[in-house]
Structure 1
Amino acid sequence: MSRHARREPSRLTRWWRRQSLRTRLTVIAATAIAVSVFLAFQVASELMDRKLQDTAEEQLRADSRVLATDVERAGPAQVQLRPYPGSGRLVRVILPDGSTRTPAGQPALPPVSKSAARVARGGPADVMESIGGTEGYLIYTLRAGGGAVQVASLADDSPINEFGFGMLLIGLLCVAGGALVGRTVARTALAPVDRLTAAAVRVAHTRDLDADIPDEGGGEIRRLIQSINNMLAALRDSRQAQRLLAEDAAHELKTPLTSLRVNVELLIRLDRRGTLDSALPAESRTRLLNDLGAQVVELSTLAAELTDLARGDVTDESTALLDLADVVVAAATRARSRMPDIELALDVNSVWVSGRPAALQRAVLNLIDNAGKWSPEDQPIQVRLCAQGASAVLEVDDAGPGIDAADAPRVFDRFYRADSARGLPGSGLGLSIVQRVVDAHGGRAAVSRSARGGALLRVELPAASPPAPIAQLTAGEHSPMR
């Protein structure tokens, strides 16, 4: 196995991932409270222990000063030690020779330590010691009367233990309460999410995209609901656009299919009767066959345009830095092969853009095809490309009748055809494809009347900086062409 092989998640991690968000919030709340109580207990225990230690030491110092006063007055060997009352502090006098005196009936203290012996021999003035064993003692030694006095007390952990037991009960109650509060908060906080989930499931089940989810809650929940409603609105628009595309396509396909069927049925019927040659002279038969061929070409063009339009922006073609002049020249070459009777006059200058070559060439070809439908045979279609500021500007100018002002706002709509164009071949999709390609490249398309009285279709695209070696060449590398 590779050293970088993916490590399997632990059992705890798998369990955690299987839990609902409500359970996770409950566990997190209970764990947070448990950790907080534990840390509070540790800090409080430490502070309480220090406080009790300081209090005990202060009491031992006070008692030792009283005993030291008696020893100074009577001497270590003669001072009278009252019998041990059975509880309380323990005392001991250390004589100069190292021997000790204790009250009658008092429990034995641990042996004199080296530190306490040094105090009795005239060393340090006092020393506080904590001596362990089966029973821990806190012993204070104070120099007095040529020897020393000691006052001791048993180390009592009962207050700490009682405090710890109380904190444990409080902690358990807090953890249980925290789990309950966490569950309640999770249920309340996730209620909008539950309703949102139910609404989303209902929409998925009924396929009713018109049912907006009620906008409730606040903050992240509201933004989530608004995002889902925006998504539903986009889906509604998309479904409506698909429905309109299907209806318009069916309408546009109906006429050429009907005409094609009628002509084919006529040929089949005459052929079956054996009267094809007599009923249709050669000239009429040729005209009918040419009509059939034109209808097939129109259907093929319409199918290709519908496919291109239905795909939208779904394409595998990548964006590249390209010279738009090359695209225009390639589109003009294709247009000349499709319309040999139409003359094209190119005035093309090098302008670099960032875009998809095939899509741009299709858009330019559609512009030229549209102009070819209207331009007289004796008048050339003028195609101009130049840079204006930060834009690449392409203009296609024909000498036809032009576009009426009432039709100008809708010339880029799908399947829209002006009244004057209904007798001409075409589907009304060419310019809508141009609009889509231009929009995808961040540009804009417009139509106006040209100086020759025809239509002037103008496309503006954001210009880009050419590659470094080409940037040194002149902008007019592509000379005007005809």
Structure 2
Amino acid sequence: MIAATAIALSVFLAFQVASELLDWQLRAAAEDQLRADSRVLAANAESAGLGQVALPPYPGSGRLVRVVLPDGSVRTPDGQPALPPVSENAVRVAQGASADLVESGDSDDDGYLVYTLRAGGGAVQVARAADDSPINTFGLGMLLIGLLCVVCGALVGRAVARAGLAPIDRLTAAAVRVAHTRDLDADIPDEGGGEIRQLIRSINDMLAALRDSRQAQRLLAEDAAHELKTPLTSLRLNIELLIRLDRRGALDSALSSESRTRLLHDLGAQVVELSTLAAELTDLARGDVSDENTELLDLADVVVAAVAQAGSRAPDVEVALDVTPVWVSGRPAALKRAVLNLVDNAGKWSPADQPVQVRLRAEGTSAVLEVDDAGPGIDAADVPRVFDRFYRADSARALPGSGLGLSIVQRVVDAHGGRATVGRSPRGGALLRVDLPAVPIARLTAGEDTTVH
């Protein structure tokens, strides 16, 4: 419809312009012919006089002539149709009051084009009936051509539009199919060109990302269910034991004070483990690290605060700090959680007489954080999977934890454009190292805004 409308408007404008040009051309040609005929008649009138000059007989169509005397009277050939009355301008020409040559640019009421020329004390006039038939014929031809162009344009436009939008139709059908079946495995054929091909590739990339996200959610749910099974089972059995003994009225006799204390301690530890696991699962389930704004901050302050919190959670774990101020661009709470997980992980392995060492320094354009312990270290076979979710080495299965702490560290570090690695401490234990992009001192001294929204 758009193509047909555009062609119709183009044909209409072309018809208007062409009609005006054709009318002007025909009028100019008619005036030139009238001017030439008037000169011939005027020459005869000069030699024979206006009253005696012989007027050519009317040929039956086409040119008409007459002589205008100074008093306004006229002479016309016998049998010639009557011309319109002599205009005042023509009388002035006959009386010599105006220029010798006066041409009428407009047709009069009877549709004649009249040319007046001063001659022999009066004037001669040659006229021609205005003929619109060439323009009408031209207009009819343009109308037929325009209709043909509109029809052809509509058909061609429809064919081109359908061919060009066919990939969009298939893309729409595929999107509807995915919406109804929830099947993200159906890739859309990469066809078309230009923007359409780019759109199809973008949607295929989106489907691939959704597939990866669904797979990650499925694995997270499966791993979470597996990890929750053991503490929930243990918690349920202990609670059922207490309920059964209480119903029998044998709670005090069946369990000694020491056994009750140990059982209650186990229940509390299991509840803490479940709470920690739930919090870590919530952190992993969120699509981003947090809703915090990114700030320019001293990473040393974050490390000190995280170590202090770790000390309140595990007072028996000693931490040796060696930090220097290093500025980074990051989210304070997320970075604190990552440092806390590193210290907690090291605290599980470090012997009671050996402190966990936490070091922070600037190294080139990076802020380097190292946390090492004097424990048994990490086996070479376990190093590639240390940061995987729920992964726990065989030697760590008896220790508390969910296997999510280092996975959260990896995600936080990745979100800040850094890198987390595992090595061996000089003391024989594990050495966990985090490299984050540091902020140059020049940016801090420039006095820029320290909050990025």
**TM-score using structure 2 length:** 0.90
* Per-residue CA distance 1:222-274 (angstroms, 9 max, x = gap): 22222222221111111111111111111111122222223333333444444
Look up the match of 1:411.
386
Look up the match of 1:53.
27
Look up the match of 2:278.
303
- Aligned partners of 1:119 and 1:126 also within 8 Å: no
Cα distance in 2 for residues equivalent to 1:443 and 1:433:
13
* Per-residue CA distance 1:116-148 (angstroms, 9 max, x = gap): 734762853423212443223322233444543
- Aligned partners of 2:413 and 2:434 also within 8 Å: yes
Look up the match of 2:351.
376
Look up the match of 1:90.
64
- TM-fit CA distance, 1:175: 2.5
Look up the match of 1:79.
53
Matched AA of 2:50: P
* Per-residue CA distance 1:173-195 (angstroms, 9 max, x = gap): 33333333333333333222222
Cα distance in 2 for residues equivalent to 1:124 and 1:188:
69
Cα distance in 2 for residues equivalent to 1:431 and 1:196:
42
- Identify if the C-alpha distance between structure 1 residues 347 and 378 changes in structure 2 by more than 3 Å, giving closer, same or farther: same
Q: Are 1:329 and 2:304 matched, yes or no?
A: yes
Matched AA of 1:88: G
Cα distance in 2 for residues equivalent to 1:103 and 1:112:
19
- Pairs within 5 Å for 1:1-400: 27-95=1-69, 99-106=73-80, 107-114=82-89, 117-118=92-93, 121=96, 124-313=99-288, 315-400=290-375
* Per-residue CA distance 1:296-322 (angstroms, 9 max, x = gap): 211111111111111231743333333
Gaps of 5+ in 2: 448-453
Cα distance in 1 for residues equivalent to 2:24 and 2:235:
104
* Per-residue CA distance 1:383-403 (angstroms, 9 max, x = gap): 222333333222222222222
- Identify if the C-alpha distance between structure 1 residues 340 and 273 changes in structure 2 by more than 3 Å, giving closer, same or farther: same
Percentage of identical aligned residues? 78
- Aligned partners of 1:122 and 1:146 also within 8 Å: no
Look up the match of 1:17.
none
Which range is displaced more, 113-122 or 419-428?
A: 113-122
- Aligned partners of 2:290 and 2:334 also within 8 Å: no
- Aligned partners of 1:349 and 1:385 also within 8 Å: yes
* Per-residue CA distance 1:368-423 (angstroms, 9 max, x = gap): 11111111222222222233333322222222222222222211110111222122
Cα distance in 2 for residues equivalent to 1:398 and 1:89:
120
* Per-residue CA distance 1:334-358 (angstroms, 9 max, x = gap): 1110111111222223333232221
- Aligned partners of 1:394 and 1:460 also within 8 Å: yes
Cα distance in 2 for residues equivalent to 1:268 and 1:68:
138
Secondary structure of 1:321 counterpart: strand
Matched AA of 2:17: V
- TM-fit CA distance, 1:467: 10
Aligned residues: 446
Matched AA of 2:44: D
- Aligned partners of 1:82 and 1:104 also within 8 Å: no
Matched AA of 1:239: R
Q: Are 1:431 and 2:398 matched, yes or no?
A: no
Which range is displaced more, 114-123 or 427-436?
A: 114-123
- Aligned partners of 2:365 and 2:440 also within 8 Å: no
- Aligned partners of 1:116 and 1:127 also within 8 Å: no
Matched AA of 2:19: S
Cα distance in 1 for residues equivalent to 2:213 and 2:391:
19
- Aligned partners of 2:392 and 2:403 also within 8 Å: yes
Gaps of 5+ in 1: 1-26, 473-482
- Identify if the C-alpha distance between structure 1 residues 341 and 42 changes in structure 2 by more than 3 Å, giving closer, same or farther: same
**TM-score using structure 1 length:** 0.85
Secondary structure of 1:190 counterpart: helix
Cα distance in 1 for residues equivalent to 2:147 and 2:197:
37
Give me the CA root mean square deviation.
2.5
Which range is displaced more, 296-305 or 324-333?
A: 324-333
Look up the match of 1:13.
none
Look up the match of 1:442.
417
Secondary structure of 2:104 counterpart: strand
